[in-house]
Structure 1
Amino acid sequence: MADANLLPEEIILEILKRLPAKSLLRFRCVCKSWSSLITSPNFIISCINRNNTSQNNTYILLRIYSETHKKEIYTLHCDNPTIDLHTHLDFPFTSFNPYFRIVGSCNGLICLADTLYTHKNDIVLWNPSIRKFLSLPEPSIRYDKAWVFMSVLGFGFDSRKNDYKVVRIAGDGSKIVPPRVEVYELGSGAWRVIDAVVPPYEMHHCWLQTNLNGIVHWLAFNPCQMGGFQSLIVAFDASDEVFREIMLPPSLGSENLLNLSLTVYGDSLALCHYSQGTQHRRACSIWVMKEYGVATWFEIFTIDLQQGVGLALRFLKNGEVVLATGEGELVSYNPNERQVKSLGIFGSSHPLILHTGSFYVDTYVESLVLLDSLRL
C-alpha cells in the first residue's frame, strides 16, 4: 500500500472511482488522505456520475412483500435479459403497516415511509450498499384539530445544490384550508416550510411517485371540475421547488386514476393505461412523452397477457418491461417479439396490495451517500 502513495493523485482518484462501495469503505483505513478523499462530497458525486453512465454498474432494485413470510425482501439484479440475481440486501427495519411504501430511489439512496393509517411520521433515508440509514426528524407542519392518514411524499435530487430532498404535502383533511408544503434537505438535516402553491388537485396514487431528472411526478385529478373530473400529472422540481401541471393524452384526460400509472422509458416519462383486453383480460397500453414539458404523447405499444396485466413497473436497458401480472407473478415482456418471460418471482395477487407497492422495481447504482451518517 505504501507504493500507492507514489502514484499521482489523479491516477489514484481514477482507480478508486472504479471500485465498489464496500471496497471503498475498507480503503478508508489505508491512510488519512484516502479517508479524506473517499468521504469528500466531490468524490462521492464523481462516483455516482460514473456509475450512472456505466453499463456495468447499474442494477435493478427489486422489493417484494412476501405474504407467506410477512416481510419485505430486497434484492439487486443485473440489468440483463435474464435479470440475474446480484445480491440480497439486509433490510433492518420494521413497520407499523405490513410494509413500507417506497417514496423513491435516487443515486443509491432509498426513501421509505411508514405513514399510512397511523399517527406516526416515520420517514427513513437508507443506503443499503453501505448499510447506513438516517431517520428524518418529525415534520414541522402539524394540525391541532385533525391529522392526515396519507400525506403526499416525494423524493428527488437537487442537481444545483447536489442535495437530496423529501417533499411533503400536508393538509387538515378539509377543502377549506389549502395544503401546505415542506421540504427536508439532507444537507441541512431539517424540514423547511416553503411557499410553493399546490395545484388544487388530489393525488390519488400518493404511494406511486416517479422521479425523472430530479422532478417528482404524481398522478392527480380535480374533483371539482364542472361536468366531471380532469386527470393529469402534478410535477415538483426539486431544484426550483415549484409545482407544475402536465396534461395527459386527450383520450385519457377523464380516465380513472386506478387505471393509470407512471414509469420511465429511457430518458422519457411514460404513462401506463390499463384496460379490458380481449376475452376480458386486463391489457396495458404504454404512452411516452418524447419531449419533456411538451404534452405530446405517443402510444408505442400495448401489452395483452393471458394472465392479465396488474402493474407495469420498469423498463430495462434492452427495452423490455418488467411487470406484475394479474396473478401476482413478476414477468418481463419483450414488445418487439411480444414474448413473456417468467422471472420465477411471486408476490400478492390482491388488487389493493398489487397497486400499493407489493412489488417495487427501479434502477439502482451503488453510492457512498450517507457515508457520514451516525447510524449503522
Structure 2
Amino acid sequence: MEQPPPQQPEIEEARRLSWGDLPEEIIMEILVRVSGRFRAQLKCVNKSLLSLIDKPRFAREILDKINKSVDKDKYRGLVLSEQNNGGYLVRSVALSGGDVSLGEFDFPPEDNKLCSKTLHLFNTCHGLVCVAHQGSLYVWNPTTRECRQVTECVANQDLFGIGFDPVSDDYKIMVAPSRRYFRCQSYQVPKVFSLKNNSWRLVQGFPDRSFPYEISYGTHATTINEIAHWDATEKIICWANRTIQRKKRIVYFDFTNEEMGTLPLPYDDDDDGMITSLAAFSGCLSMIHYNGTVADDLWIMEEYGVKESWMKLLTIDNLFVEDLALIPLCWMGDEIVLGVEGEPFLIIYNPMERTHRRLELCGVNPRSTIIPLLDTLISPNATA
C-alpha cells in the first residue's frame, strides 16, 4: 500500500500546537510572520484554525498588518506565465537571500499546463490576480489557490484591471477597449464588474460613447491606493488645422467613484522619451522613463496625484543591453529587483555601485509575463 507523503516539519509542529487554547490575537501575530502558502496549509491542522483563517475579517486584518509592516517586501512574490509546448505554464517566483526559487501553480485548479494560447495576467490587488483564459475572466489567489470565474465570452483584445472599493468593501474589475478595438464602436465604453453584486455596469462620463485613450493590448494595470493605472496615449483632435495629436498619459480608474482620469507626468508631455513601464515601488506609483540615451530614469510619485511630488529616484545605466523593458519590482537589501518584460531573468541593480547581476529563472522560456504579487489570504469568493 502506498504511503502518504511526509508532512513538512512546520506542518507537523503546527499539528502539535494547541491552537484552540491560544487567543486570537496571538494566532494573528504568529500567522502574520509566516508565508501565505504556510498560512493556507494550516487550514488542514484543525477545524477551529480552519474556521478562523477562512473568515474574511481575519484575512483583512492580516492584510492590514502586512501593509503596515516596515518590511513589506518580504511578503512579496512574483507570478510568471510562460508559453510552454503550445500552452501556458503559470509559476511562482520567490525571492529570498539574493536567490530565486520557482514553483508551479494550478490554473485553472484542475489544469496545470494550459493547452491555450489566450492566457493573460493583467494585474493584482491584495493578492488577487485578474486573469483572462480561453474567453473567460477569472479572479485567482495563487497563494490559497482559490479561483472564481467571473464571466464568459470576454473579448480577447479587452484590457482588464482589478481593484478594491473600501467604501462598499467590494473588489471590482474594470474593462476597457485596447488599441486593437479602438475603432469598434461597441467596445468603446468602459465597464465595471462588482464581485459583491456579481453584475456589470457602464462607466459614466463618456456621453458620446467615445473612449479617448489608446492602451496597447497586453499592458498590465498597476494598482496603487486601490486605483488602477495604465500607460496610455490620448488622441486629441485639433479642429482648427484638422490635425491629430497624440499625448502621453497615465490613465487611472478609481474603483470607489468608478471614474477615469489622468495623472500628471513629471515632465512635459512633448518630451521625446517614453514610459517603458508603470509599477508599484516602495508603496508609490513609479515609472521607468527612457531618456533617449542608454539609461533609464526611475521616477516615484511620493504624494499621490501631485505633479510636484514626482522624484527621480535614480538613473539605471551600465546594463550594456539596449531595448530592455524594465519593471521595478522591489528592494532586496540595498539592491533593486527589476523584471524584464519577455525575458527569462531578473536584474538585480545596485544603485550605489552602479553595477548589476542577473538572476536566471532556470527552465523559464522567453516571452514570459511577470507581475508582482502580495502574499495574502483574501478570497475571490468572499463577496460572492
TM-score range, shorter chain: 0.7 to 0.9
TM-score (norm 1): 0.77
Match for residue 112 of structure 1 among 131, 144, 157: 131
Question: 2:370 maps to which residue?
Answer: 360
Deviation of the 1:263 alpha carbon: 1.2
Q: TM-score, normalised by structure 2?
A: 0.76
> Which of the numbers 60, 76, 82 marks the counterpart of 1:59?
76
Structure 1 residues 90-105: aligned runs within 5 Å? 90-92=106-108, 93=111, 98=117, 100-105=119-124
Cα distance per residue 1:38-80 (max 9 Å; x no partner) = 32221121122223344375032141425678533412313x4
CA 1:196–1:206 in 2, change beyond 3 Å: closer, same or farther?
farther
Aligned counterpart, 1:167 = 174
Residue in 1 aligned with 2:136? 122
What is the deviation of 1:178?
8.3
Does structure 1 conserve the Cα–Cα contact (< 8 Å) formed by 2:288 and 2:297?
yes
- Tell me, in whole angstroms, the C-alpha distance in 1 between the residues paired with 2:336 and 2:142: 26
Partners of 2:329 and 2:156 lie apart in 1 by 32
Q: Give deviations 1:150-184, integer Å, cap 9, x for gaps.
A: 22211112222332111112497437678323222
Deviation larger for 197-206 or 332-341 = 197-206
Matching of residue 261 in structure 1 with residue 277 in structure 2: yes
- Secondary structure (helix, strand or coil) at the match of 2:353 reads coil
Q: Deviations 1:191-230 (Å, cap 9, x if unpaired)? A: 2334244762212355221111101001111223446321
Q: Distance in 2 between matches of 1:16 and 1:274?
A: 41
Distance in 2 separating the partners of 1:65 and 1:264: 22
Aligned residue type for 2:132: A
Task: Give the equivalent residue in structure 1 for 2:159.
Answer: 152
Counterparts of 1:191 and 1:325, CA distance in 2? 32
Q: How many residues align?
A: 346
What is the rounded CA distance, in whole Å, between the counterparts of 2:216 and 2:163 in structure 1?
Answer: 19
Per the alignment, residue 370 of structure 1 pairs with 380
1:137 maps to 151
Which residue of structure 2 lines up, in the alignment, with residue 145 of structure 1?
none
Deviations 1:273-318 (A, max 9, x none): 23553xxxx5322222222101233323222311235122233234
The answer for the alignment partner of 2:299 in structure 1 is: 287
Map 1:203-222 to 2 at 5 A: 203-204=215-216, 207-222=219-234
In the alignment, what sits opposite 1:335?
351
SS at match of 1:21: helix
1:300 aligns with 2:313: yes
Shift in Å at residue 235 of structure 1? 0.6
Deviation at residue 2 of structure 1 after TM alignment? 11
Residues 128, 378 of structure 2: 8 Å contact kept: no
Deviation at 1:260, TM superposition (A): 2.6
For residue 245 of structure 1, the aligned residue among 262, 274, 277 is: 262
Uncovered stretches (5+) of structure 1, i.e. residues with no partner: 115-119, 143-147
Residues 252 and 262 in structure 2, CA contact (< 8 A), matched pair in contact too: yes
Is the 8 Å Cα contact of residues 181 and 196 (structure 1) preserved in structure 2?
no
Structure 2 gaps, min length 5 = 1-15
Q: Which residue of 2 aligns with 1:310?
A: 324
Change (3 A) 1:341 1:372: same
Shift of 1:252: 4.6
CA 1:40–1:307: 2 relative to 1, 3 Å: same
Contact 1:152 1:170 in 2 (8 A): yes
The alignment status of 1:323 with 2:339, answered yes or no, reads yes
Instruction: Indicate conservation of the 8 Å contact 1:247/1:253, yes or no.
Output: no
Q: Give 2:56's aligned amino acid.
A: P
Q: Taking every aligned residue pair, what percent have the same amino acid on both sides? A: 25
